[in-house]
Chain A
Amino acid sequence: MADRETVIEVRGLRNQFGDHVVHDGLDLDVYRGEIIGIVGGSGTGKSVLLRTIAGLQTPAAGQVRVLGTDAFTADPDARAALEARWGVMFQDGALFSSLTVRENVEVPMRAIGDLAPETARALADLKISMVGLPPNAGDKYPSELSGGMRKRAGLARALALDPEIVFLDEPTAGLDPIGAADFDALIRGLSRSLGLTVFLVTHDLDTLHAVCDRVAVLAERKVLVTGTMQDMLSVDHPWVRSYFHGPRARAALDGAAAGTAKEED
């Protein structure tokens, strides 16, 4: 892993809200092409970390380098260029409610000056179909979609400019198990075929097993440990133990094992 290109490099990150310190001395590396899952108990600042790396939250101290650019000291032009190279999918899609799904996906494309409207339209339809939405979903408004479809549409918008990094905030929260499994497969498939780096915040143990190459555990205000799911099982920390050895973790692990066995048949 060490020889792979680092696309996100977080060093000594400190985030605090008033007296409440969320992160202190947090370090994290994310390598190109991998899917990293961020886990941690409620209130350990998983989403805050995502928001900080994506530039939505200014940290009290520390450094965040994304694709070789310092995210907080870069001049506005470099920063805008950087933002075009990542996409963010928010928890409930965060689609613009006054626009149709297709128009939502076209929004980032409008920044490209010489793109013909028909081309933008065709590319938006392509993205809508790539995330597994039916063709007629493009003409619908976000309020007419189910939660799972809104998430997919949010992903289509995040992918509009073919970013190198995609941030996903709780992609499977609130989905039924079938929808969640489909979404896992979608993330994995897109990441493999497009060479995406995926930064994924989740609570879902099945997602961790099914998609993540590496897992980073947030606890005690920093990244406590990173490694594969197998590595997690041997970590001797009370929270990590109870998370990865709990009954639900066992069930997810068995499910993943059964899934792999079936594929091998």
Chain B
Amino acid sequence: MVAVNPDTDIGVEIDGEARPIRVTLSGAYTIHTLTEVGRRLDGLGPDIVIDLGRVTRLDTAGAWSLLSLRSRLEGGGGTLSLEGTTPEMDAVIETVAGALPGATETHDEDEGRTLADRLDDLGRAVVGGGQALMGYAGYLGLFLAGLVRVILHPREFRLTALVHHCGEVGLKAVPIVALMSFLIGIVLAFQGASQLRQFGAEVFVVDLIAVSILRELGILLTAIIVAGRTASAFTAAIGSMKMREEIDAMRTLGLDPTTVLFVPRILALLLMLPILGVIANFSGLVGGGLMSWIELGISPQMFQTRLLEGEHANHLMVGLVKAPFFALIIGVVGCRAGMQVRSNAESLGRQTSNSVVAAIFAVIVADALFSIFFSEIGV
């Protein structure tokens, strides 16, 4: 007799001499012990009698393993009979037998993927990408139409919402944008100084900083930060409204989501991004000037004089003219991703991260196109 804890363990006694083979179980025949029983009974047959008289607990997993044993034995022409079952055990076995799913194999979908399947996937991805581009164009159109409508019907315009979003998008982004740009100015001055010193051309560090910050980095990095902050915020806000059917509720109340949600947000970005760009330019120049002073001894007055002599005004214009385009990209990407959210939280999370990636990517692509354009027209 094996000492068993009747609540957690199982004792298996096998009388292999008897015909049919007699198995006496004692203790708990449950999901915790069925592996043990399966191991002991493996290969026995063809006819088995199992005595459950001393089993204290039989759960559905135990019943399932009895039934699988029975189907294995009967498949080989044998039999399984049970003895000493209580009415409760019979009820469990009956429930499990009634619920046993048919032998359906629904997986293995990944096997046998042919070249045609892969081409099919590629084709779908390309078409999907094309449709996404069309979608962005569609949302740009919606925004412009909404803008025209509020110009024609100023009473529909939501000034409070615009001011609120300007604060969220613009004012609250000032510290991070200014700090980032200040640090970039320092890095540029430091790296530029160590290179230009080799040629004794330290003073050109001013032009290096001015051109790179004003023309490219100030506005590009601002747009990237705003894309990370604001595109995700737009997607999360619009997406959670979409999820809770608030947008459908708006439509039934005769409110147009374009006017109520998109126009104030994108317009706020359009207004704020150029201002943030100017702030970034200024603090970048301050950072660069400070570093030039420390590292190269170029005094602030000299930096200023050199800056004004250099005719950097058109660089400033080239930089700032990109701001509204970046703002449109970020806003449209963020709003569209929000509207793509479906009724579960998972899609909200996925769309939010998608919108950040898509917005940053699109901003960089647009910047590259602008670079080519400006160099072609020779500005």
Contacts and interface: CB of A to CB of B under 8 A. Distances in A.
A193 B101 contact: no
Interface residues on A, range: 20 to 34
Interface string B45-65: 000000000000001110011
B178 to A, nearest CB: 39
B32 interface: yes
Interface stretch (A18-26, A34-42, A120-128): A120-128
Interface string A121-146: 01101111110000110110011000
Max count, chain A CB within 10 A of own CB: residue among B61, B343, B347: B61
Interface string B9-40: 00000000000000000000011101110100
B378 interface: no
Interface string A57-84: 0000000000000000000000000000
B106 interface: yes
Contacts of A98: 346
B299 interface: no
Nearest to A98: B346
Interface in B286-331: none
A109 B31 contact: yes
A143 B346 contact: yes
A193 B107 contact: no
Nearest to A121: B107
Contact of B92 (A109, A114, A139, A193): A193
A123 B64 contact: yes
B91 interface: yes
B291 to A, nearest CB: 47
A116 interface: yes
B96 A126 contact: yes
B60 A112 contact: no
Contacts of B91: 192-195
A115 interface: yes
* Interface of chain A: mostly helix, strand, loop or mixed: helix
B61 A162 contact: yes
Interface string A86-130: 000000000001100000000001001011100100110111111
B102 A135 contact: yes
A127 to B, nearest CB: 8
A155 interface: no
A122 B346 contact: no
A194 B88 CA distance: 7
B371 interface: no
B344 interface: yes
B346 A194 contact: no
B179 interface: no
B94 A193 contact: yes
A139 B106 contact: yes
Contacts of A190: 95
B88 A162 contact: no
B99 A129 contact: yes
Interface string B83-94: 000001001101
A142 to B, nearest CB: 8
30 contacts: A97-B344, A109-B31, A114-B35, A114-B36, A115-B35, A119-B35, A119-B65, A125-B101, A126-B64, A126-B100, A128-B101, A129-B100, A129-B101, A130-B95, A135-B102, A136-B106, A139-B106, A139-B107, A143-B342, A143-B344, A143-B347, A161-B31, A162-B31, A162-B59, A162-B60, A190-B95, A193-B91, A194-B91, A194-B92, A195-B91
6 shortest interchain CB distances as A-B pairs: A162-B59, A193-B95, A130-B99, A143-B344, A129-B99, A193-B91
Given A116-B35, A130-B95, A136-B104, 16 more contacts: A97-B344, A97-B345, A114-B36, A115-B31, A119-B34, A119-B38, A119-B65, A123-B60, A123-B64, A128-B101, A135-B101, A135-B104, A139-B107, A159-B60, A190-B95, A194-B60
